[in-house]
Chains A and B, each alone.
Chain A
Amino acid sequence: MYRYDEFDRTIVGERVLQFRAQVERRLAGRLTEDEFKPLRLMNGLYLQLHAYMLRVAIPYGTLSSRQMRRLADIAEKYDKGYGHFTTRQNIQYNWPKLKDVPDILGDLAEVEMHAIQTSGNCIRNVTSDPWAGVAADEIEDPRPTAELIRQWSTFHPEFSFLPRKFKIAVTGSPNDRAAVKVHDIGLRMITNEAGEPGYEVIVGGGQGRTPMVGVVIREFLPKGDLLAYLEAIMRVYNLYGRRDNKYKARIKILVHEEGAGKIRDAVEAEFVRAGGLQVQPDEAELSRINAYFAPPAYARLADRSQRLEAALASDPLFSEWHRVSVAAHKVPGYAIANVSLKPIGGVPGDATGEQMRAVAELAERHSMGEIRVTHTQNLVLANVRKDDLHVLWTGLGKAGLAEANTGLVTDIIACPGLDYCALATARSIPIAQAISTKFADRNRQREIGELAIKISGCINACGHHHVGHIGILGLEKKGEEFYQISLGGDATETAAIGEIVGKGFAHEEVADAVETIVDAYLARREDGERFIDTYRRIGAEPFKEALYAAH
């Protein structure tokens, strides 16, 4: 994985000193809260319902065991012993004190981490495929691209005062595990007919109060033109994006209001006008970045592991976990292990300091010291020998991290919601817990199969409910929590925004409503159909009838 050079260390270190001084000035009254707020946001520090919240960047979801241990240290020393992994592959701490944040940033800098640009009207953490570099279906590793964009966007002086936040995602696989079509810019790594590598550039996707699937504005962009083209997009957005209305300030609104054709023309014109020479990284720098993502020293192994096969045959619980949690690796004898942070009835995406240390240890022993964070609030150990999977699973089990539910009905995304977030209109976590508990039975989960439930505690959609197969949005009506259900959302390459089924449900009715929907699916599905397949075949009507027939 990428390691800081002297330049990186310097800018991050300087930022820590700068923020420390800003906090001192704030506490001494030499900065007002209005002056301080944009500064603290640019360092990922929010004021939430109960306390401050610090969002730490995990670049494209990749971190080392050493970094994970530091995150555990921070959780225990400065917070309340846990952290929350987010839908943008970052980690959030819910209880830091302002006076401690400079020290937290200092501790992060020691392990090449930071909280820069995880909030504010700037380019945020670039997200990517958690199986990057190892997935069997990958065309090209998206991490060097994500790292290049990260470096280009960090402290970019021209793009530090955007109309609104800006989110970029990259996938290197035709199976999109990075939700690129619902990002401000989504990049798909492809090859043209001549076999040359490049990008399909998608713009104007997003969720929130006006969800939209992005549009392709460039079908093939040669690799070397990436930063120049991104600059062109950012300049068009910076110039024409609305600043009069916070709720209409994202690039998706610009694309929607002006039309994709007009935006494409403006971007292409700017791309040509600017020439691109200024922003082209030199070959030495590109080589330096790429070198960090060269394949590690894999052992030459047979693809079949007798040890694994023996364990699968003799241990049904392990076999169940393996079935849903392990994915195909491009190197023979290796596997990708998905680690669920969704224990039945637990808080989705949370991990204690102890669990973080357990994952760090297991990653060191079994996955070359590297961990990935997914946008579905889970973790991945991407380079596990098949021979080691049973030992790994045993270790995960001791840490309470061996739930066999990756991609299943209890693998629910939930934002922090009204339990933590100042923006929320309803709680999301207890809804997730109720659904998780209701569907706890493993046989039932297996029977249902792949089902993505996503829950947001407000219209800002941090829980990605718009792209849930079943999406749940928590609102407030007459002082009570009230939940809208949508169906048919999809975060993958077949991206779709879910459709609201009808009247909303009270807090205590939601889990039952989800069960009604699942039962309607099971009653009507044809062989091999996932929930989303059945929904696409039969439409919303059967589900609406099932939900509302008695009302």
Chain B
Amino acid sequence: MSDKVLTANHLLSGEVVFLAEGELWTPRISEALIAENDEEERWLEQAGARAVGAQIIVEPYLIDVTRHGGATRPVRFREKIRTLGPTVRPDLGKQAELEDIHASAA
């Protein structure tokens, strides 16, 4: 069973976000809370449902991640792209807007 984080889109901006400490939502996967078992996954999903109800985020879902040397990385290629931005426009998306995003999430 792999580690998971909860991701969603920010309702107002559409930006990709991850559930972090204090039920806050962060654009950085490096700050995402990681679920290591079923119970923790359920908690993440419940927190996601709360955020949906509070009109903060939409369409939350769990994604598989791996952890290497402190960096959290999505397993699926699709989620990697979603974490960073379009591969054909490195000047757009988080890869351009957030410092250290590559080191922590690439």
Contacts and interface: CB of A to CB of B under 8 A. Distances in A.
A27 B15 CA distance: 16
A3 interface: no
A33 B58 contact: yes
A433 interface: yes
B77 A481 contact: yes
A50 B82 contact: yes
Interface in B66-100: 75-78, 81-82, 85-89, 92-93
Contacts of A163: none
A12 B77 CA distance: 41
Most chain B CB atoms below 10 A, which of A49, A420, A476 = A49
Interface string A412-437: 00000011100010010110010000
Given A49-B82, A481-B77, A97 B12 contact: yes
A235 interface: no
Contacts of B93: 50
A27 B10 CA distance: 11
Nearest to B79: A49
Interface in B1-34: 9, 11-16
Contacts of B75: 479
Contacts of B53: 29
B81 A419 contact: yes
Interface in A311-344: none
Given A33-B59, A47-B59, A481-B77, A430 B88 contact: yes
Given A51-B13, A80-B92, A420 B86 contact: yes
Most chain B CB atoms below 10 A, which of A28, A50, A418, A476 = A50
A28 B54 CA distance: 9
Given A28-B55, A47-B14, A479 B82 contact: no
A95 B93 CA distance: 9
A27 B86 contact: no
Contacts of B85: 50
B52 interface: yes
Interface residues of A, number: 30
A99 B12 contact: yes
A50 B98 CA distance: 14
Nearest to A346: B88
Contact of A419 (B13, B14, B59, B87): B87
A117 B25 CA distance: 33
Given A47-B58, A49-B82, A429 B11 contact: no
A27 B55 contact: yes
Contacts of B89: 347, 419
A427 B87 contact: yes
Given A29-B55, A420-B86, A97 B76 contact: no
Interface residues of B, number: 26
Given A49-B81, A418-B81, A419-B87, A97 B13 contact: yes
A26 B9 CA distance: 15
A249 interface: no
A347 B93 CA distance: 16
A479 B76 contact: yes
A433 B14 contact: no
B55 A96 contact: no
B13 A99 contact: yes
B87 A97 contact: no
A26 B12 CA distance: 10
B88 A27 contact: no
Contacts of B76: 479
A62 to B, nearest CB: 29
Contacts of A481: 77
A50 B16 contact: yes
A133 B92 CA distance: 39
A26 B13 contact: no
Interface string A428-448: 011001000000000000000
A430 B92 CA distance: 16
A50 B52 contact: no
A19 interface: no
Contact of A433 (B54, B81, B88): B88
Nearest to A31: B55
A98 B14 contact: yes
A347 B90 CA distance: 13
A419 B12 contact: no
B12 A27 contact: yes
Interface string A467-507: 00000000010011100000000000000000000000000
A230 B12 CA distance: 39
A479 B77 contact: yes
Most chain B CB atoms below 10 A, which of A28, A48, A96, A427 = A427
A220 interface: no
27 contacts: A26-B11, A29-B53, A33-B58, A47-B59, A48-B14, A49-B16, A49-B78, A50-B82, A50-B85, A51-B9, A51-B13, A51-B15, A51-B16, A52-B14, A96-B14, A98-B11, A98-B14, A347-B89, A418-B78, A418-B81, A419-B87, A419-B89, A420-B86, A427-B88, A430-B88, A480-B77, A481-B77
Interface of A: 26-29, 33, 47-52, 80, 95-99, 347, 418-420, 424, 427, 429-430, 433, 476, 479-481
Given A26-B11, A420-B86, 4 more contacts: A96-B14, A97-B14, A98-B12, A427-B81
The 8 closest A-B pairs by CB, nearest first: A52-B14, A419-B86, A51-B14, A97-B13, A429-B88, A29-B55, A99-B12, A33-B58
